[in-house]
Amino acid sequence: MGTKERRAREKEQLRRQILVAARELFVNDGYENVSMRKIANKIEYSPTTIYLYFKDKADLLDSVCKDTLLNLLKTLERLKNDKSDPVETLRKSGQAYVEFGLKYPQDYKLTFVIRPEFQKGLGLQEGSVGEKVFNYLREMVSECVRQNIFRQVDIETTGQVMWSAVHGVTLLLIDFPDFPWTEKDKLIDTVIHTTIEGLKV
């Protein structure tokens, strides 16, 4: 490996180290209580070093959330190769979405609760990872309509309905673990099933 390649790898490793430290501090201490200096102290670098990679704390939060959305997108895209049964793909995608949120609850809340509190929107700008995640849902709904499984529904509204359903159950299970829920998988499956059945022809 040449000097140029080694330096590029070291820069990427440090960038990842900064992101990991920031994610942990944002989760444990609260975004508003974390400073760039605090992040720098955690990785034993100067704040100046962090500013070489991220312009400010909001940029750091944005990068942490983009990582989470990218991982979610990769999880979902593994399911959409088979379009022979789009309803089953949509159902599995809904399950995978909720399972992702429950597996990474802090990352999920950083992305969908804390981030919108301190930044504008959910990062759904054209070409963004957030938009790609939502486009995945639109495509699945559109395919169900194309194959005459769903009624001729408005794709945008129906996509938002599907997201509302899975996001709602995900956040409720994260935020209220002590609530006397019915069996978890049964609850998740019923939410998804009921939403899908209501859209069929």
Domain holding 106, by residue range, is: 57-197
Residues 77 and 151 in one domain: yes
Determine the Cα–Cα distance for residues 2 and 25; give it in Å rounded to an integer: 35
One pLDDT digit (tens) per residue for the chain, 201 residues: 678 888 889 899 999 999 999 999 998 898 999 999 999 999 999 999 999 999 999 999 999 999 999 999 999 998 877 667 999 999 999 999 999 999 999 899 999 988 877 666 566 677 788 889 999 999 999 999 999 999 999 999 999 999 999 999 999 999 999 999 999 999 999 999 999 999 998
| Percent helix, percent strand, percent coil in the chain, to nearest 5 | 75, 0, 25
Q: Are residues 67 and 37 in the same domain?
A: no
Q: What is the CATH number of the domain that holds 172?
A: 1.10.357.10
Tell me: do 50 and 62 sit in the same domain: no
Give 119's DSSP letter.
S
| pLDDT the model gives residue 186 | 97
Q: Count, in order, helices (H) and strands (E) of the chain.
A: 10, 0
Q: What pTM does this model have?
A: 0.88
Q: Are residues 97 and 124 in the same domain?
A: yes
Indicate if 19 and 74 belong to the same structural domain. Answer: no
49 with 20, same domain? yes
Distance CA 69, CA 161 (A): 19
- Whether 43 contacts 15, CB under 8 Å: no
Domain identity same for 156 and 172: yes
Q: Are residues 109 and 75 in the same domain?
A: yes
Judge if 115 and 180 occupy the same domain: yes
Domain count, the chain: 2
Please name the amino acid found at residue 63: S
Which residues lie below 8 Å from residue 62, measured CB to CB, with a gap of 6+?
115, 119, 123
**Domain of residue 7, CATH code:** 1.10.10.60
